[in-house]
Amino acid sequence: MSESTAPPVSVADHGAIRVITVNRPDKLNALNGATLDALHQAFDAAADEAAVRVIVLTGAGAKAFVAGADIAEMNTLTPVEGRDFSLRGTRMMRRVERMTKPVIAMVNGFALGGGLELAMCCHLRVAADTARLGQPEINLGLIPGFGGTQRLLRLAGRAATLELCLVGAPIDAQRALQLGIVNRVVPAAELEAQTMALAEQLANAAPLALRGMIDCVNIGGECGIEEGLEYESVQFGLVFSTQDMREGTAAFLERRKPAFRGE
């Protein structure tokens, strides 16, 4: 199947883990409008399927997670079209960020511009030691348009965000780990195995508790401390209504492994 006719996003299930792959390796998995829409649809579908407990997001090929937005498509956009393209990407990435199931970015290569923005909206990021990450939009006379300035600021702080955006030079995976942009760096040859092991660990955890944690962190990152604490207390109380909480505490007391069912 050629690049022009291949679907821009592919999906494969491994038990309770769904792997969503940006499938444009000939374009280093660049994000055009069709790819943004396909990703949005793929995450909507994963959200709706109860059998899916964890999502792993990656890019096809050995070179790139996502090397950025599609420059050829952007080159001819008007200011209004540029704003709309930004909003299109922002909505998709907000969809990923608001998923109630854990989303792990498996960063297998270049994560630049829109690619880093896509990785940052995931809940966890595991990077190959060969990965390169950055916001190089300044070199194109652009600024990040899919939330890069905002999520990078929250992950890495003001100084690192300004350096990465103003200078535009990519950093290696170890530097990204030091800045808190990625959670783990692993040898490239072990990236898939270690990422899937992490996904399997999360797939075996209590789904409703995972959801509550993701919600609390998302809400807490967008409100004041008092509101965040109150929201956490409400979510804490709600999990007492779940069978998973009864199972987890009983298993602890009985010194056995819990079997969570998402109920």
pLDDT digits (tens, 9 = 90+) for 160-171: 999 999 999 999
Dist CA 21 CA 7 (whole Å): 10
Joined tokens for residue 262? 């998402």
- Are 168 and 138 spatial neighbours (Cβ–Cβ below 8 Å)? yes
137 is catalytic: yes
From 73, 81, 97, 137, the catalytic residue: 137
Q: What is the pLDDT of residue 184?
A: 98
200 is catalytic: no
Q: List, in sequence order, the alpha helices (H) in 121-224.
A: 148-156, 158-167, 173-179, 191-203, 207-220
State how far the alpha carbon of 71 is from the alpha carbons of 14, 19, 100, 212, in Å. Answer: 34, 26, 32, 38
State how far the alpha carbon of 228 is from the alpha carbons of 122, 218, 225, in Å. Answer: 21, 9, 5
At 26, give phi and psi (nearest 5°). -65, -20
Q: What is the pLDDT of residue 32?
A: 95
* Residues 207-253, CATH architecture: Orthogonal Bundle (1.10)
As annotated, the residues of the chain forming the CATH 1.10.12.10 domain(s) are 207-253
Distance of CA 172 to the CA centre of its chain: 18
Question: Which amino acid is residue 168, in one-letter code?
Answer: G
* Residues 9-203, CATH architecture: Alpha-Beta Complex (3.90)
Q: What is the pLDDT of residue 2?
A: 44
Mapped onto helix, strand or coil, the DSSP state of residue 34 is helix
At 152, give phi and psi (nearest 5°). -65, -40
Start-to-end C-alpha separation, the chain: 42
Write out pLDDT tens, residues 28-53: 999 999 999 999 999 999 999 999 99
As annotated, the residues of the chain forming the CATH 3.90.226.10 domain(s) are 9-203
From 117, 226, 232, 247, the catalytic residue: 117
Dist CA 128 CA 124 (whole Å): 14
Measured at the CA of 124, the angle between CA 207 and CA 173, to 5 degrees, comes to 160
Write out pLDDT tens, residues 227-250: 999 999 999 999 999 999 999 999
Residues of the chain with pLDDT > 70: what percent? 98
Dist CA 240 CA 244 (whole Å): 9
- Are 39 and 20 spatial neighbours (Cβ–Cβ below 8 Å)? yes
State how far the alpha carbon of 37 is from the alpha carbons of 8, 43, 211, in Å. Answer: 9, 10, 24
For residue 1, pLDDT over 70 is answered with no
Average pLDDT over residues 183-204: 98
Residue 5: band (very low, low, confident or very high) from pLDDT cuts 50, 70, 90: confident
Residues of the chain with pLDDT > 90: what percent? 94
At 69, give phi and psi (nearest 5°). -80, 165
Write out pLDDT tens, residues 67-108: 998 999 999 999 999 999 999 999 999 999 999 999 999 999
Q: What is the pLDDT of residue 4?
A: 57
Question: Which amino acid is residue 147, in one-letter code?
Answer: G
